[in-house]
Amino acid sequence: MVGEGADGALGGVRPTRTRFAIMVLLFVSVTINYLDRSNLSITAPAMRAALALDTAQMGYVLSAFGWTYALCQIPGGWLVDRVAPRVLFAVLIVAWSIATISLGFTAGVAGLMAVRMLVGALEAPSYPINNRVVTTWFPERERATAIAFYTSGQYVGIAFLTPALVWIQTRFGWHMVFVVTGALGIVWGLVWYATYRPPHEFPGTNAGEIDQIRRGGGLVDLDRTQRERRSFSGADLAHVLSSRKLWGVYLGQFALTSTLWFFLTWFPTYLVQARGMSFVKAGFFASLPFLAAFVGVLSSGLLSDAMVRRGASLGTARKVPIVTGLLLSTSIVGANFVNEPAMIVGFLALAFFGNGLASITWSLVSAIAPERLLGLTGGVFNFFGNLSGITVPIVIGYLARDYGFSAGLAYIALLALLGAMSYVFIVGRVERLPDRDVALVAR
């Protein structure tokens, strides 16, 4: 019999830790991803002035990404179950980066909306890919930390690079913001293709690490077992739409991403238009909530995995940070009652810290989704979550025009409260759902 020590070694060979290199690859990929979806919010005040757009028109431009990003989630998730992440992610990153560059040379509402819709469609499979990779590479007791680490890229990249992008806009014009972020993406797409491999093929990964991942609940053999792909099945889609626990996370994700989409779209405009800050001052203040969210998401992953290691149930360990974070996100409405810039940004930073704390929701998808339908479930989950990418820019655009931004902040706070209630009252025990074929036999 093969022996195993306390350190998880197999046959006396200490497991390697190459999976942590995968965390870094995913982190950079998410950073690039969010720069290319949020760069429009940075340029929005200048673009509105240059193109003579009112807030309602700008709301439609800002929402264009969300239309195709949400609608392409389900076919994107289906694609993730069938194309290797190394190839699919590289092609998508390069393609959406080229589309991003073209935004810098587009004028008019219709043209801007068309290109942003293309970017949204191409980015749609990205988070299902991330979820597939982390479920393949990480045991359950490390997975929330891994998800939190790569998810932090959506905050830290914007936090640290927003001042730089504002400087590029001030110095060279808003067009160059799209050129620079798109060029970074093209380079990274090539790096991903050259670097990423599944566990059995990744350089330096030994049998001890692969066994450690497998025994911990990681689907380390997923790329091997899914080489024979099934065609798309409506019954598969119905299966992942029939679970109450999945509906709980679908609704909760819509609430969670509503706060995120406010910060990715209207936040800089809110600081400039509603609070009278200059572009440069708004660029500095805009980075602070993203730093708070970065701290929140890292804290969430570490807290959740520590709870698992100390014996808490998986459901408790995952839901406590999520529900707490959503409740903290309701503090965004406090900005309506203060006038000092530091206090305004303080409430917004607290709300976005809560959003970061709640953002390990993908860990629930990873733990609940049927193994064969991991990508499809992730696509459905992201579809419902990112319907907010359509609704939030438009709803806040109209609210801001007719009632002011204070009504928009109240709308975001209400959704966060409803999201917390969804995780408390709808999501039940956290356990992997059986495949459709298994469920039919069980009946």
**Which numeric CATH code is attached to 19-219+232-442?**
1.20.1250.20
- Ramachandran assignment for 108, one of left (phi > 0), alpha (psi -120 to 50 degrees), beta (any other): left
Distance (Å) of CA 43 to CA 30, 110, 128: 20, 17, 28
d(CA 71, CA 80): 15
Tokens of 283: 């660029």
Contact 401, 54 (CB under 8 A): yes
Distance (Å) of CA 30 to CA 24, 76, 98, 433: 10, 17, 17, 28
Q: Quote the percentage of the chain above a pLDDT of 90.
A: 25
Extents of the domains making up the chain: 19-219+232-442
Query: In 3D, which of 140, 155, 138 has the Cα closest to residue 22?
Result: 138
d(CA 201, CA 211): 14
pLDDT, the chain, mean: 83
pLDDT of residue 194: 93
pLDDT of residue 436: 64
- Of 167-171, 264-268, 432-436, which range is least confident? 432-436
For tokens 């708070």, the residue is: 292
Tokens of 187: 């380079």
Distance (Å) of CA 257 to CA 205, 375, 390, 416: 35, 19, 11, 9
Q: How many Cβ atoms from other residues are within 10 Å of residue 224's Cβ?
A: 10
Tokens of 22: 């995968």
pLDDT of residue 331: 96
d(CA 34, CA 39): 8
Alpha-helix runs per DSSP H in 124-152 = 126-137, 140-151
Residue 13 DSSP code = B
Separation of first and last alpha carbons in the chain:
38
Q: Between the ranges 162-171, 205-214, 249-258, 264-273, where is the mean pLDDT highest?
A: 249-258
Contact 296, 353 (CB under 8 A): yes
Q: In the predicted model, what is the mean pLDDT of residues 216-223?
A: 70
- Of 55-64, 145-154, 225-234, which range is least confident? 225-234
144: phi then psi, degrees, rounded to nearest 5? -65, -40
- Mind listing the pLDDT tens digit for each residue in 274-318? 776 665 555 566 778 888 988 898 888 888 888 888 888 888 888
d(CA 223, CA 233): 20
Alpha-helix runs per DSSP H in 216-278 = 222-225, 234-240, 244-265, 267-269
- Mind listing the pLDDT tens digit for each residue in 61-87? 878 887 898 888 888 878 887 888 999
Contact 25, 195 (CB under 8 A): yes
408, pLDDT greater than 70: yes
- Mind listing the pLDDT tens digit for each residue in 182-202? 999 999 999 999 999 888 888
Residues in the chain: 443
439, pLDDT greater than 70: no
323, pLDDT greater than 50: yes
